[in-house]
Structure 1
Amino acid sequence: MIKPDTPVNHQPTLSRRRFIAGTSGLTFMISMGDFLSDNLASATENPERNKSRGANITVWVKINSEGMITILNPSAEMGQGSMTALAVLIAEEMDADWSKVRVEQSPIDPKIYGRPGWGGRGYHMITVGSMTVRGYFMPLRQAGAQARYVLLKNASMKWEIPLTELKTEPGMVIHSATNRRMSYGEIASFAKTIKEIPEIPEKKLKRPEEFRLIGKFVPRIDIPEKVDGSALYSMDVIVPNMLYATILRTPVNGNRPMSFNEKEIMSMPGIKKIVSLEHGVGILGKRYEDLLPAKRSLKVNWSQGASAEKFDSEKILEEYAKVASSRKKKGHVLAQKGDADSVLQKAHRTYSADYLSDHVYHAQMEPLNAIVAVNPAGDSAEIWAGTQSPAGAIKEVAQLLGTSPRKIKLHPCFLGGGFGRRSMSDYIVEAAKLSKAVRKPVKLIWSREDDLQYGAFRPMCLQRLDAGVDAEGKLIAWKHSLIGDGRRLLSSGAKTPYYDIPNQHIEIIGLNHGVRLKHWRAVGHGFTKFAIESFIDEIAVSEGVDPYQFHRQVMRNSPRALKVLETAADLAGWGRTPSRGRAFGISFAERSGSMAACVAEVSLEKSSGKIRVHRIWSSLDAGIVVQPDNAVAQMESA
């Protein structure tokens, strides 16, 4: 099979034979073994390298005789830092010496390395929805505690003393009564497999005040590799006999290529193969540079009739407004409390506003790309890709080849940004289709133009908000209708669990335009929270009430959320008079269990309508923060 020699984390192993220096930067050359042998052995099956890693203490941890600890990482690392955070969880509970910790990618096996799924359904290795650290928090602390148990058990057998008499310090098992100490490396040199490792009761896990790593500054593991150039992205990978590929995709989603100038394109320099796909035409050649003029020369006759042909993004928001006003189309109810419609009719004063949002492009830094090598028999494949959903990619490629997922080997690479786009496997499946056609390794590269033209965007929508207040100015009714395509992509953030409003109706009125849509960072929170917080402010101003105080009134029964809001207000010195021409705004949002508030000092250039943000004060309550420095970085870059 093809065996990549991926670099060990925070110990760069870039050697002369592993890189080619060129005008485009660094390229990692993958060595060839037996191309895609039937057993599809692990890409890390290098006897000398495995020896350096040491013995398996558990499925998550290996330790060698020198005490170097290898922790397996189940998540996609795309700059968000989870590769370090998850390792910290294991290292904390096993009392690892962090200076001796290395991190490598785990096998793609959700049953072993997955986190609990949504609603407790199954186990997943998909890195989306701000679920990674939160979802793995207890499972990986348990994994670390079990690794510690294995070390203690082996030490107790070696010393022939009860396990209960032993304790651990970083990298060391200690018997205080006899003043004996044994390093984790020494234990690893003789450790026996413990067939049945007990579940460690939660009460025996470390208390927050005992944490040495969780909540402390721990340098990111991925940063050194990214700085010295040894980090492996799929864009860097080259395999022997590989062809490059590009695809001209349909300008309208759902239409197909009917005919094209194949003979002309095949006569162009460097072109080896043209493959007709359901949604486009693939061109393959030895050099990517040869593919670009060929792609520009393609003349495709596309089919017609796709529903997306009728979609006009400039006019659709007007249609959404008509749908919102007609009330003829029933929506999918997200939240219902009391009788919002009835109370709105009887309210002392009512307010209504529409908020519009456009499609948003992911714009991940690294363009989409993947390498897929389908074997000559067409029943197995190897993949190199940066993906947020490795198990999903394996499943889709297996379905394409009509084979078992066990015969698909995926080598996860760093992701140059994801934001939800790389949880789709379309670019990997495309590469697999092309490789299947030629039975050679194929490296498919999406250009930035490809990604924009055939993107999968955050959906457009119109949000109509209606509210009613009583004679005392208290908010007593709330109705929020989201109109647009993408149903579940619209619902995120629409609920208001921390606002005490007795009558609420929140719904999605879904339409289908045939446009490609996908999760975009925080899914719907970006536009739903903007609408909710803006509407709250507009009501407050119309009622002659300070927006901060109005927030406090509706949040009075949510003390934790209220504390976050008050902290931001205190940081900003809310209540002071802003500088001439400037104003203060305040907002609150929650996402995946974290709560944040923000005060912004802004000014408006009336002649141009340009808004300038001068200062921002933010507060965050995320519970136990595994990596504070990373949380600060995400807050500052949001």
Structure 2
Amino acid sequence: MNKFVNDPQEAGGQGVAISRRGFLIGATSAGFTLAFSCSGLGLLDPAEAIASQNFEPTLWYRIDHDGLVTVNIAKAEMGQHVGTALARIVADELEADWQSVRLNYVDTHPKWGLMVTGGSWSVWQSFEPLSQAGAAGRIALIEEGARLLGVAPAACTARNSRVQAGKRSISYAEIVQRGDLTRSLTADELKRVPLKKPTERRLIGKETLAIVSPRRPTAAPAMASMRASRAWSMPARCCRPHATAPRWCPSTIPPLKA
């Protein structure tokens, strides 16, 4: 287990340092990328910054022309489905249809920063910035959706990847196709973006099936080889301890077959 990180930059640029970074939304050939900026926003043009990938590598997501929301996952995945947990944070604030959310598990390039599993770091370190990223995206979509619908943003709400104004609505996909989401928020503006109250959350804390990505690093090959040679192992179950320490008892579970 690694020590706790005192320098936020050691933790993939997250933690305290992220609070002083701005937020960018810029167009790409596939749709729009929404990301934290790597440097001061005063000198950055959102479209230019996104095109040159001058944004925080570990914290971004994109919305494609077909409305698919792809969340970048730069945390270690060891079967605990951390990708699903992090994507739920973004999707909840973004008011995205969960069925349209996809995961992009990154490679092991050093640019992704510290990739460690332990102590529930992935969720508690990422919760605030990912919530801000989702909320900033929702507000941009509402503003642009309102413009396309010809109404005031205050008359609109977002739900299930659609911006609604009374009986009229427009999908996130249509907004990406027809609108211009290009935006930039300074660090101070991002801090003022309102986040949902816990009682308003629709995805966080609710049961769901994990998203399994074909690109997700998996222990399946290793497990397959273990199952093929189990002579060295013995199934066991944990019995209720009589004192303070648990003890292991023979299991009634039949041995695994190759």
Q: Shorter-chain-normalised TM-score: which range? A: 0.5 to 0.7
Distance in 2 (alpha carbons) for counterparts of 1:144 and 1:613: 48
> How far apart are the structure 1 equivalents of 2:147 and 2:159?
19
Q: Is the 8 A contact 2:95 2:161 kept in 1?
A: yes
The superposition leaves residues 290-319 of structure 1 with CA deviations (integer Å, 9 ceiling, x where unpaired) of xxxxxxxxxxxxxxxxxxxxxxxxxxxxxx
Q: Which residue of structure 1 aligns with residue 192 of structure 2?
A: 201
Separation in 2 of the partners of 1:77 and 1:584? 35
Distance of aligned partners of 1:152 and 1:125 in 2 relative to their CA distance in 1, 3 Å threshold: farther
TM-aligned CA deviation for residue 106 of structure 1: 5.2
Deviations 1:167-226 (A, max 9, x none): 1111110112xx221111111102314231341536x2112222211111121112xx5x
Question: Aligned residue for 2:169?
Answer: 181
Q: Which of 102, 116, 128 is the aligned partner of 1:127?
A: 116
Shift of 1:132: 0.9
Q: Deviations over 1:481-531 (max 9, x none)?
A: xxxxxxxxxxxxxxxxxxxxxxxxxxxxxxxxxxxxxxxxxxxxxxxxxxx
- 1:153 deviates by 1.9
User: Where does structure 1 differ by over 4 angstroms across 4 or more consecutive aligned residues?
Assistant: 106-111
Question: AA paired with 2:203?
Answer: L
Distance 1:61 1:139, change over 3 A: same
Distance 2:62 2:95 in 1: 14
1: CA distance between counterparts of 2:241 and 2:218?
40
SS in 2 for 1:220: coil
Please name the residue that 1:416 is paired with: 219
The residue matched to 1:199 in structure 2 has which SS? Answer: helix
What residue identity is the alignment partner of 2:171? S
Establish whether residue 68 from structure 1 lines up as the match of residue 68 from structure 2.
yes
Correspondent of 1:56 among 18, 21, 32:
32
- Structure 2 residue 163 is matched with structure 1 residue 190: no
Is the contact between residue 56 and residue 62 of structure 1 (CA under 8 Å) also seen in structure 2?
A: yes
Distance in 1 of aligned mates of 2:197 and 2:110: 28
The match for 2:53 is: none
Structure-1 separation of matches of 2:198 and 2:184: 28
Give 1 or 2: higher strand fraction: 1
Match of residue 83 from structure 2? 83
Cα 1:212–1:175 shift into 2, 3 Å: same
Distance 1:106 1:180, change over 3 A: farther
**Cα contact 1:166–1:174 (8 A) shared by 2:** yes
Q: Is 2:158 the partner of 1:158? A: no
Shift of the 109–165 alpha-carbon distance from structure 1 to 2, 3 Å rule, reads: farther
User: Residues 541-584 of structure 1: CA distance to partner in whole angstroms, max 9, x if unpaired?
Assistant: xxxxxxxxxxxxxxxxxxxxxxxxxxxxxxxxxxxxxxxxx963
Cα 1:167–1:586 change in 2 (3 A) is farther
1:136 Cα deviation after fit: 0.4
Aligned equivalents of 1:187, 1:151: Cα separation in 2 = 7
Q: 1:583 to 1:144 in 2, by over 3 A?
A: closer
TM-score by length of 2: 0.59
Deviations 1:66-106 (A, max 9, x none): 32222222223221211111111100100010111111135
For 1:208-287, what aligned pairs fall within 5 Å after superposition? 208-222=198-212, 231-232=214-215
Within 5 Å, which residues of 2 pair with 1:151-550?
151-176=141-166, 179-197=167-185, 198-199=189-190, 201=192, 204-222=194-212, 231-232=214-215, 414-416=217-219
- Paired with 2:191 and 2:81, the residues of 1 have a C-alpha distance of 27
The corresponding residue for 2:16 is none
Displacement of 1:108 in angstroms is 7.7
CA–CA distance in structure 2, aligned partners of residues 107 and 193 of structure 1: 28
Contact 2:74-2:115 within 8 A present in 1 as well: no
- After superposition, the C-alpha distances for 1:560-613 in whole angstroms (9 at most, x for unaligned) are xxxxxxxxxxxxxxxxxxxxxx963347xxxxxxxxxxxx5x6xxxxxxxx538
- One-letter identity of the residue aligned with 1:171: S
| Distance verdict in 2 for CA 1:183–1:145, change over 3 Å | same
Name the CA distance, whole Å, in 2 between partners of 1:215 and 1:110: 32
Q: How many residues align?
A: 179
Judge conservation of contact 2:148–2:179 (CA < 8 Å) in 1: no
Aligned to 2:249: 612
Q: Which has the higher relative contact order, 1 or 2, with Cα contacts under 8 A spaced 6 or more apart?
A: 2
Any gaps of 5 or more consecutive residues in structure 2? 1-27, 36-59, 221-225, 227-239, 252-258
Cα distance in 1 between the residues matched to 2:180 and 2:107: 23
The normalised TM-score by structure 1 is 0.25
What is the match of residue 21 of structure 2? none
Are 1:57 and 1:147, in contact at CA under 8 Å, matched by a contact in 2? no
2:243 counterpart letter in structure 1? G
Deviation at 1:110, TM superposition (A): 8.6
Q: Which residue of 1 aligns with 2:130?
A: 140
Residue 584 of structure 1: which of 220, 228, 242 is its match?
242
Preserved contact between residue 61 and residue 147 of structure 1 (Cα < 8 Å): no
Find the aligned partners of 1:110 and 1:215 in 2 and give their Cα distance: 32
CA distance in 1, matches of 2:131, 2:195: 8
Structure-1 separation of matches of 2:155 and 2:191: 17
Shift of 1:64: 2.9
Q: For the residues of structure 1 that align with 2:107 and 2:176, how far apart are their CA atoms? A: 22
Q: Secondary structure of 1:205's match?
A: coil
Distance 1:138 1:613 in 2: 45
Q: Percent identity?
A: 28
Amino acid at match of 1:585: A
After TM superposition, give the deviation of residue 155 of structure 1 in Å.
1.3
SS in 1 for 2:249: strand
